[in-house]
A = this chain, B = another copy of it.
Amino acid sequence: MAQYTPPLRDMQFVMHEVLNVTDELKTLPPYADVDADTINAVIEEGGKFASQVIFPINLSGDQEGCTLDKTTHEVSPPKGFKEAYKTYVEGGWPALSCDPAYGGQGLPHLVNQCLYEMMNSGNQAWTMYPGLSHGAYEALHAHGTDEQKKTYLPKLTSGEWTGTMCLTEPHCGTDLGLLRTKAEPQADGTYKITGAKIFISAGEHDMTENIIHLVLARLPDAPVGSKGISLFVVPKFNVNADGSIGSRNPIFCTGLEHKMGIHGNATAQLTLDGAVGTLVGQPNKGLQAMFVMMNAARLGVGMQSLGLTEVAYQNAVAYAKDRLQMRALSGPKAPDKPADPIIVHPDVRKMLLTARAYAEGGRALGLWTTLQLDKELSSDDADVRKEAGDMVALITPIIKAFITDNAWISTSHCMQVFGGHGYIAEWGMEQYVRDARINMIYEGTNTVQSLDLLGRKILADNGAKLRKFGKMVQDFVEEEGTNEAMQEFINPLADLGEKVVKLTTEVGMKAFGNQDEVGAASVDYLRVVGHLVFGYFWARMAKVALEKQGGGDPFYKAKLATARFYFAKLLPETASLIRTARAGLPTLVEMEESWF
């Protein structure tokens, strides 16, 4: 019943008309030859895979879930998942933005980002299997030995094997410093790893012949806390010297979690009983190595929520046009029908436009940030790399937290458009809400993201990164300062920019007195900065749409209308958020613990 059409036109608009990505890619040696036609052709094919292969098994995958055979410890994902993965591998999709040195296609991450948005619209639970692999690939590519790279990267690139990230233990999630899994060095240079991991996404399945686990554990002499954690690669099956599959490594799935959503993904409890692993990177520096995966994963989580927002929006629009119920308060709009389609009702439109504005804003921000990532990783100019890296660091927690919070709001609105039918599984809407909920939690809760943004990314460098972004906003405001038609966008943007500067200074000053002031303001603060960033991209998109709307293409008129909606109905949330951020710590600490 549900439907999904890949938003190719909007991706192309952002990439080619707003960001002019091919000009930017020309400056990056590995991508100098990537032209718009190539990008467009790849995302069009990617859209077919997302909408035709994995979207049709999304609802059934949610209903069926994964099955663990407790005797063999093997896990079967829902029907069709294995076959879809085979199609994915045959299409060469895992290799899209991988290093050609290991068999990759060497396309920019930008293209992969488009693919992932669409795959997440199609089926988030399925997409997590290759998604986690990609994180393992990145960590090994950045920190692995030559031997490890040679052994694992070609197989991860081709998709013949998948990978995981094994961080969480029952007593520690956010606070990895508490972790207890042990790694005992062996005479041959390997380690025997013993412990219990939980919440391991894509942790076990039968879709590939091997699974490459990246596992955090402690060496025997490791310092306590987060400075005593090392990273190991622990394959499900040991790999022989010739690359063939060897003996089963004792890392077993001993349970699957029953979750609110993402039922199609196997969230595994893994028991390691002397599993053989090799060290990745330096001893006791595992967290740093893991952060390579984690930052990629945080951008990935934002894209999961972007995908859900888009597909929920499309379905809610279709329903709102189709469902006849009541008349418009201002009089019948479809007098020939027994009632008006509910899209005539202003609040239904408000719910739809909220999802649309958050989807399109998130897409613009996501693609811009991925372009910065490509620059950070591939420019031959150190200044460009530094500049782009700063932007990626600043924006990553915003993408993770702001886009996932927005998706929670948006998918819930889209479900509400369906009335009672939204609550019924067969329509597919409530699944989007349930799936969207995990994105606010994993890869660092949204509170953790907000502390990362305000504490680490902004206050710790005295606002230098934020000023760089602010400079870009200010330049745009000045450029458009004499453009009468842009005032409705530029004025609130400039105003919010000033308020962010003031708020940052104020919270920073308070934090000198008490560091807990950071935690008291950070969640509200992140949403305020999120709106500044979205506001900037919405203003840039509005500028292009204003220039082109005369041509009669309704695409530009819709873009402009959505931009106006964003500034009138969503960005004003900042008025309250600034107040509550400024209210700070006092009313949060007046309650003694025993009074709760």
Chain A interface (Cβ < 8 Å from any Cβ of B): 63, 168, 171-175, 177-178, 198-199, 257-261, 317, 320-321, 324-326, 328-331, 338-339, 341, 343, 345-350, 352-353, 356, 408, 412, 415-416, 419-420, 422-426, 430, 433-434, 437-438, 440-442, 445-447, 450-451, 455, 514-516, 518-520, 522-523, 554, 557-558, 561-562, 564-565, 568-569, 572-577, 579-580, 583, 585-596
A587 CA / B356 CA spacing, docked (Å): 13
CB-CB < 8 A to A261: which residues of B?
423
A258 touches B424 (CB 8 A): yes
Main secondary structure of the interface of A (DSSP, over half): helix
Contact (A565, B592) CB under 8 Å given A173-B325, A420-B441, A519-B346: no
Nearest-neighbour CB distance to chain B for A595, whole angstroms, equals: 4
Residue of B419, B438, B441, B516 near A329 (CB, 8 A) is: B516
CB-CB < 8 A to A557: which residues of B?
592, 595
Nearest-neighbour CB distance to chain B for A222, whole angstroms, equals: 15
Contact (A572, B561) CB under 8 Å given A174-B325, A260-B433, A343-B593: no
CB-CB < 8 A to A330: which residues of B?
514-516
A157 CA / B518 CA spacing, docked (Å): 56
A523 CA / B257 CA spacing, docked (Å): 38
A125 CA / B91 CA spacing, docked (Å): 47
Nearest-neighbour CB distance to chain B for A167, whole angstroms, equals: 11
B423 touches A588 (CB 8 A): no
17 residue pairs of the A-B complex, CB under 8 angstroms, read A171-B324, A178-B339, A259-B430, A328-B516, A331-B515, A345-B519, A347-B519, A420-B442, A430-B437, A558-B591, A561-B587, A561-B595, A565-B588, A565-B590, A568-B583, A569-B580, A575-B575
Nearest-neighbour CB distance to chain B for A422, whole angstroms, equals: 7
Nearest-neighbour CB distance to chain B for A320, whole angstroms, equals: 8
Residue of B63, B317, B561 near A590 (CB, 8 A) is: B561
CB-CB < 8 A to A591: which residues of B?
349, 353, 558, 561-562, 565
A367 CA / B450 CA spacing, docked (Å): 38
CB-CB < 8 A to A558: which residues of B?
591, 595-596
